[in-house]
Amino acid sequence: MATTTAQLVITSTDLLSDTLSLSAIATLTNSGSATGVTQTTGLSRTKTESNSQYTLYHGEVASFPFASQDQAAKIYIKNLSTTAAEFITIHINSEELGRLYAGDWAFIPWSVAADTSDIKITPSVTSALTIEHMVFFES
């Protein structure tokens, strides 16, 4: 059984009046189960060179070896730019989720259901920008 954990640690000494220290850890499991997620797309990098919208992952169930749309999937996306003003906007189909600026990353759940659940990015610049991404999912 695969064991994959995701961890988020947030610390700050000057954001609040007290020191902030927050940690969350989750084991990635199949839907409704304690069995670990066993599949991944593998870690990929996509280099963009325009500010056109790119589809990172198609939402059709046929794109992944899913038995149904109710199965567990998580997406990791990171903007590898080191230029502070460069960002990507993340969309699920036409719904904007938000922006990832240089060095920012996101880890989000994803329901692979249909064309309406495509994961898309739109870079803010026409120069080269590299995005790191991966999907974790159950088989």
pLDDT at 49: 94
pLDDT at 22: 94
Tell whether the model's pLDDT for residue 53 goes beyond 60: yes
Number of folded domains in the chain?
Answer: 1
Considering the domain boundaries, does residue 4 fall inside one? no
Least confident of 56-65, 71-80, 108-117, 118-127: 56-65
Question: Which CATH number covers residue 83?
Answer: 2.60.120.10
Considering the domain boundaries, does residue 6 fall inside one? no
Considering the domain boundaries, does residue 15 fall inside one? no
Give per-residue pLDDT as tens, 90-137: 999 889 999 999 999 999 998 877 667 889 999 999 999 999 999 998
pLDDT at 1: 62
pLDDT at 100: 98
Q: Answer for the pair 131, 102: CB distance below 8 angstroms, yes or no.
A: no
pLDDT at 138: 84
Considering the domain boundaries, does residue 23 fall inside one? no
Residue 88 pLDDT level (bands cut at 50, 70, 90): very high
Considering the domain boundaries, does residue 9 fall inside one? no
Domain containing 93 equals 32-137
Burial of 68 (0-12, 13-18, 19+ CB in 10 A): exposed
Considering the domain boundaries, does residue 99 fall inside one? yes
pTM of the model: 0.88
Considering the domain boundaries, does residue 116 fall inside one? yes
Give per-residue pLDDT as tens, 5-45: 999 999 999 999 999 999 999 999 888 888 888 888 899 99
Strand locations in the chain, DSSP E? 5-12, 20-27, 39-40, 44-48, 54-57, 73-79, 87-92, 95-101, 105-109, 119-123, 129-137
Q: Answer for the pair 34, 72: CB distance below 8 angstroms, yes or no.
A: no
Considering the domain boundaries, does residue 22 fall inside one? no
